[in-house]
Amino acid sequence: MGRLFGTDGVRGVANREVTAELALDVSVAAAHVLAASGAFEGHRPRAVVGRDPRASGEFLAAAVVAGLASAGVDVVDVGVLPTPGVAYLTAALGVDLGVMLSASHNPMPDNGIKFFARGGHKLPDDVEDAIEQRMGEPWDRPIGADVGRINVEPGITEELYISHLVDTLPESVAENGLSGLRIAVDCANGAASEAGPATLRAAGADVVVINASPDGRNINEKCGSTYMEPLRAAVVASGADLGVAFDGDADRCLAVDHTGALVDGDQIMGILAVALRERGRLAHDTLVTTVMSNLGLTLAMAEVGITTVQTAVGDRYVLEAMRSGGYDLGGEQSGHLVIARHATTGDGVLTALQLAARVAETGASLADLAASIPRLPQVLVNVGGVDRARAQDDPGVRDAVAAAEARLGQDGRVLLRPSGTEPVVRVMVEAREQAVAEQVANELAAVVKERLAL
């Protein structure tokens, strides 16, 4: 059996891999591990539990709440709330543990369990491993007054989260907020269906809302940040200044300008990095990105004196780099951005708010702001039927990569990496011209196919 915890908690098909029994067991084990670490000493332990609106989240959240309470933990059940909202409340309420039931941008049948430590940070790997090891062990159950109590507080806690978000508006727009901006919002029929539009309205925007009627089955279904067509249409039809789209648990945000053109995570990061630097709030004048970020972002940042630090793909690696280097901003092309001054994890609603604030602050259109961060043509070829374990070591592949890099020079780059989730090797090439990127990518893919064939 593989490791229970993946890069973003426990995840799988609900009621098959992620069962009520698993949810209860892992919650009890989490309580025991934290108790053994001394986290509960001197006070009665407390936890916050939230979920996205998937139908399976109802029984899984009930199982988590039951597990924690049976282990003596008092629980604040906040109901449907974005993942970053649960992280924020974990810190703001001073509780010992946060738990979110969500599978983020995954399709409805999936679900997951994600834990946050005191302060709203993701649990370290060694704590997750300890939780897994203690699942199913015999234990002394508390009785009487020692069992946990459950308090259901969806409305109050959502208000706290929204108030926190609005308070992050920069001073330059604090007086008028987003007044005068019309923003279309695609809520993915997910966790931000209430909080997302409410936050932007509280900030002063005129908000046009689509896909904000979750029924337990329609989360991420041809909507949200993984399917941008409805938002494009809504922006154009409503004459909005911009549009923003969240994923199911609202830890991501992508945008479109007034014409419906996509503004991806790289461009949003670049826009916000420049804004923070101008305000003197970009630590070390540095932006943290992943190796999948477009070279256009790196070049645009260099032109304005901002350094980019690259990490492996995955928000956990971005967060690790940010915390170790003391950086303020980082993220991924997918729209998963972390603004460390205001959040401990990716927050799509916060990202949307800050992006709209930059439009209001500058008076420029989102299209003009995004144009300063051009996207170089990027070609990705997935090569199947090969031994991906040899991708980094084969001499012929290494020589082909070196030759491709020499050909592209400073105007492009090559990234070759084995997939962590599929039996393929990914060949990614960026260049100033689409035709060059396609030619180099296809030639390199042919070498990989020949050299690594099974």
Catalytic residues: 104
Cα(138)–Cα(352) distance, integer angstroms: 47
Structure-token pair, residue 451: 């050299």
| Geometric angle at alpha carbon 81, from 173 and 162, rounded to 5° | 25
| 61 and 51 Cβ atoms separated by less than 8 Å | yes
Closest-CA residue to 83 (of 96, 67, 101, 57) = 101
Cα(147)–Cα(121) distance, integer angstroms: 26
| φ, ψ (nearest 5 deg) of residue 430 | -120, 145
The number of residues in the chain equals 454
Q: Is 414 helix (H, G, I), strand (E, B) or coil?
A: strand
Place of tokens 């995954």: 106
Instruction: For residue 363, give every residue at least 6 positions away whose Cβ sits within 8 Å of its Cβ, in sequence order, or none.
Output: none
Query: 6 pairs with which residues across the strands?
Result: 9
Q: Is 7 helix (H, G, I), strand (E, B) or coil?
A: strand
Cα(243)–Cα(352) distance, integer angstroms: 9
Cα(436)–Cα(429) distance, integer angstroms: 9
Q: Give the pairing of strands 253-256 and 262-263.
A: antiparallel
Question: Measured in whole angstroms, how far is the alpha carbon of residue 223 from the centre of its chain?
Answer: 17
Q: Is 38 helix (H, G, I), strand (E, B) or coil?
A: coil
Closest-CA residue to 426 (of 448, 402, 453, 443) = 448
Cα(401)–Cα(358) distance, integer angstroms: 40
Closest-CA residue to 415 (of 436, 441, 449, 394) = 441
| 439 and 426 Cβ atoms separated by less than 8 Å | no
Question: Distance between terminal CA atoms of the chain?
Answer: 26
| 37 and 31 Cβ atoms separated by less than 8 Å | no
Q: Is 429 helix (H, G, I), strand (E, B) or coil?
A: strand
CB-CB neighbours of 127 under 10 Å: 18
Q: Is 309 helix (H, G, I), strand (E, B) or coil?
A: strand
Place of tokens 């208000």: 159
